[in-house]
Structure 1
């Protein structure tokens, strides 16, 4: 599950521990339904039922002021939930979710729109009771019917992700105006209640007479702390804080949503947005380009102290970012070919010459977590893999997976030699400096990118491929066009990010399973169709405890790595932040997020900055 951790002691979702079964002794009778203020897969939630605010926020943070942020590309829709259209950033500010995640805990959600959660003894469902007084911006109450309508609309018309994520939900029923129950097909999907807690509820009455499946720029009705005040299609959108927001005093909201106005300005690429930040048109920036972080922030406003910078360490699992090959293309269906393409990717040279040594090489689909495969399989993981021994490459059970390592000199002869050997085994030979197969077809493909930033990574890689006789080329398109092509699986190779969490689960179906390989818009961007992967994903989803989940994730990790479905790139354990010095922020950041929603405009700092800039 995204952003979750499964419990190791047998406690799940606040329910009693699973009963121990002694030989010849029947299990204890299950307890009755339990009502809780929060859900956690890590035992008891860290915060009690009477908590007043999240521990990292300043509950007395002043409201007011404006913040200008940036986005890349453009937008043509305010419907964030469907496959069509490009959604404006910031739409999450418009809607309330049933529960709200704690950015300080690995797996906890606290009552937000729903003030109480009821968990049945058989674990085959969950009930949410909506808070009295919860209302839409037009003053009408938020009801259980809104929840039912939202769930059904998303499952029927929303992105394919929802159908995969909610596959084990059989029914949703509005039992009373404020009580809604979801029923499950299994008691084994331990995370499903928390997944449903993430549901952003939409207004049924506003959508009646409108086509939910179509994108559009009609300003939607919301219930959250902000509403859209104005926009210029494709160029900017501004959100105004709702002064009489119904949930402003909830413990999940105290100290957050402090800016009166949040404005997003769109730019065509990251370089232009950086220049806008330097000029003071943007107030806050996260820097994802190591070269820019090292070299581009020596400008007058930084030297004068008007712009501040910080690296904030986080505890998020980092998943895997890498070049992926579209295995729907015949060119990439041979495992030996995919391995060969990875052998000539020279991370060590790139890290030294492009990234100023700031990154660590990614070696797992579950990097920076205990779910990453390591050493040789043993224990429960080995038991899982042994079931598929005759369907797996022998290396999965006999060798530790390691990414290729070079000396960083840029002269990767050993990698090129091994790659050519594998390509010859796969039927490719070099003729007149071109790699061709027995039919005379050349080995050539396109690397699709959504902006120029990654061109400096792709071009050195292309040079390495040329030494093998492979003709690769870069195709850079704008983000909306890129998303359309990704949704239609219209690419040869691209850069993909498989985000992971503290409790992998239902989202793995969308990432890897055969059922999603041909469903446009799914996250199975590689196009994997492997019955072994399908079965291991089911084992992950239905894992009864943390040791079982860990073993299943490590098994999946090992199978994916030895399948050479991606060329792993790199990751960082810090957020790089830069901002104009007009903000106050809490004494610490949450462990698992930037926490910008808990910052505020400091009136004295803003005034001093304005005076300094006028004088300067």
Structure 2
């Protein structure tokens, strides 16, 4: 086997620090910070069972709040695609793994080469790569996919995500180069994650449809599954492709083991849980502490037919909170946003509603190295000082803001009443005073807030929050709407406050441009839900995405977290340290070891297998559940 280091030393001049050929990196994998675990020719990832049998069927529900689907195209803004379609059907040039957050290995690409100036990356396409229609995957298909996804016909987040990629150039039948706007060590990973599809997808009568008009056209992709049985808008099955071109490739060995994976969609969360207990599907994840403690119980759990487990993981914590739409005039003053946040009593919620199962979200990079603490140190100050003219003085001379805390004993800390007094004073300073039965501005307009929710689960949180806000004179409306309507209103920024969750990342980077960057603030459908436009934030985002080492990334993100927290753009929620999952015991077998970084639904669909599969060729035992318990957390 040839290791990437051996390859590098053979072809590079150590004293100059770059390759004589002009290539600084050429190997089977790429790591943002140079740390590759698996050498060239490795057999399989450590957390899989390479002998896992193929066969069986598993029935799941979407991990999101999806209530329907109305198209087969996952790349456009309008409408909803079937759940998990991207991961099931579309291969990418590179693929990551669940143990290394900033490293990816060749999938469609058999080799990746980064130029010595870091302004381009070249991929060699695997000669065996095939689409579902039997056509070879060629460099022209890769360029076609890139150009379609960065066009105005695609959802806008793709243009932001690939925004620093200048162009794609076909060098030969199976060789393609991507040129970058500037050096950025993350860009090879970004380009490597490009979903690739055939240039024939959407071709009708020799004419290619615009991407946003491809609604019912079945994608021509190259992934491990194809679309199977469909009850349109409700249920969809993905059928494993027995001729999948990468089935024996090391980055796919022991993965995608079920012959059929079906997703059933329920519009009501209560109906979904009861259906799980009745045996209509095989696995679900719980995000609600009360539900986990009180509803995941019964004879099926007592008999062991249903397993209830809290799976440990090493993930960064998920960010969750109520997000202000700062495009609305009433939320543009930071004092108003801070005052509203003071009215939420997390400690009461955790005691009374959450069974003390959660910790408070404090920053934008939860439970990670990137979370700001105290006052800025010398490394952060080096980034912040050039921005001093556009930052509040508090960024430099005060500790990073913390969510308000209430104490049971008034003598040991502040109470909710103390926080409401602070909120009243902040609102008054911002021009809002209580008169004529409501909190009003100088024009006499009453302060009204609408909370939108698609599941109804936030009602028990909003209700006590609203009562506290009403003590300040703020009128609150809590409105439950269908998820598709909520998504549409979010896409056009027609909301006051919404609850939002972002999965934590061990190496945040380019995706932050779309989430917090000024360029995406007015782009419909973008991830910049807050509507954030801030010169200092943009400058720190620029530092983060151009980091060339882990310490540089940590420093830039801590500075970013600090600036965002001083902006009080959210009312922070809470997070848990485990994945709460439940599954039908006879439906799954799984490796004994869990990977370090994972989302449980992806673990189920890629790594687990059916214990009833006929082609059983391994004696790897089913692992015992981690922290299995039917008691409240």
Is the shorter-chain TM-score for this pair beyond 0.5, marking a shared fold? yes
Task: State the TM-score, normalizing by the size of structure 1.
Answer: 0.92
Write the deviation string for residues 161-182 of structure 1: whole angstroms up to 9, x where unpaired.
Answer: 1222222211101111111110
**Alignment of structure 1 residues 478-497 onto 2, 5 Å:** 478-497=482-501
CA separation in 2, counterparts of 1:361 and 1:169? 38
Q: CA deviation at 1:411?
A: 6.3
SS in 2 for 1:88: coil
Answer yes or no: is 1:79 the counterpart of 2:70. no
SS in 1 for 2:200: helix
CA separation in 2, counterparts of 1:294 and 1:190? 44
2:505 to 497, 501, 521: 501
Answer yes or no: is 1:51 the counterpart of 2:27. no
**Alignment of structure 1 residues 1-40 onto 2, 5 Å:** 31-32=20-21, 33=23, 34-40=25-31
* Cross-structure match for 2:322: 323
Write the deviation string for residues 128-185 of structure 1: whole angstroms up to 9, x where unpaired.
Answer: 1111121111111111111000000000022221222222211101111111110112
1:195 to 190, 193, 213: 190
Of 85-94 and 544-553, deviating more is: 544-553
SS in 1 for 2:75: coil
SS in 1 for 2:228: strand
CA separation in 1, counterparts of 2:503 and 2:284? 21
CA separation in 2, counterparts of 1:19 and 1:592? 35
Of 176-185 and 428-437, deviating more is: 428-437
* Cross-structure match for 1:563: 567
2:596 to 591, 600, 603: 591
CA separation in 1, counterparts of 2:300 and 2:18? 67
| CA contact 1:76–1:215 (8 Å) conserved in 2 | no
CA separation in 1, counterparts of 2:537 and 2:9? 31
| CA contact 1:30–1:122 (8 Å) conserved in 2 | no
**Alignment of structure 1 residues 195-594 onto 2, 5 Å:** 195-208=190-203, 209-214=208-213, 216-400=215-399, 401-407=401-407, 412-582=416-586, 583-593=588-598, 594=600
**Alignment of structure 1 residues 123-202 onto 2, 5 Å:** 123-156=118-151, 157-187=153-183, 189-202=184-197
Write the deviation string for residues 363-402 of structure 1: whole angstroms up to 9, x where unpaired.
Answer: 1111111111111101120122122223222211111122
| CA contact 1:365–1:498 (8 Å) conserved in 2 | no
| CA contact 1:319–1:364 (8 Å) conserved in 2 | no
Distance 1:322 1:215, change over 3 A: farther
Structure 2: unaligned runs, 5 residues or longer = 615-633
Of 129-138 and 496-505, deviating more is: 496-505
CA separation in 1, counterparts of 2:613 and 2:124? 43
| CA contact 2:44–2:50 (8 Å) conserved in 1 | yes
CA separation in 2, counterparts of 1:587 and 1:466? 52
Answer yes or no: is 1:602 the counterpart of 2:611. yes
2:117 to 118, 122, 143: 122
Of 358-367 and 410-419, deviating more is: 410-419
Q: CA deviation at 1:70?
A: 1.1
Q: CA deviation at 1:604?
A: 8.7
Q: CA deviation at 1:408?
A: 5.5
Q: CA deviation at 1:500?
A: 4.1
Q: CA deviation at 1:191?
A: 0.3
CA separation in 1, counterparts of 2:99 and 2:541? 28
Q: Aligned residue pairs: how many?
A: 587
| CA contact 1:66–1:262 (8 Å) conserved in 2 | yes
| CA contact 2:200–2:220 (8 Å) conserved in 1 | no
Q: CA deviation at 1:29?
A: 6.4
Structure 1: unaligned runs, 5 residues or longer = 1-10, 21-25, 606-616
| CA contact 2:33–2:548 (8 Å) conserved in 1 | no
CA separation in 2, counterparts of 1:49 and 1:555? 37
Task: State the TM-score, normalizing by the size of structure 2.
Answer: 0.89
* Cross-structure match for 1:4: none
| CA contact 1:84–1:215 (8 Å) conserved in 2 | no
SS in 1 for 2:350: helix
CA separation in 1, counterparts of 2:310 and 2:504? 22
Distance 1:497 1:215, change over 3 A: farther
* Cross-structure match for 2:61: 70
CA separation in 2, counterparts of 1:42 and 1:103? 17
| CA contact 2:123–2:176 (8 Å) conserved in 1 | yes
CA separation in 2, counterparts of 1:80 and 1:249? 27
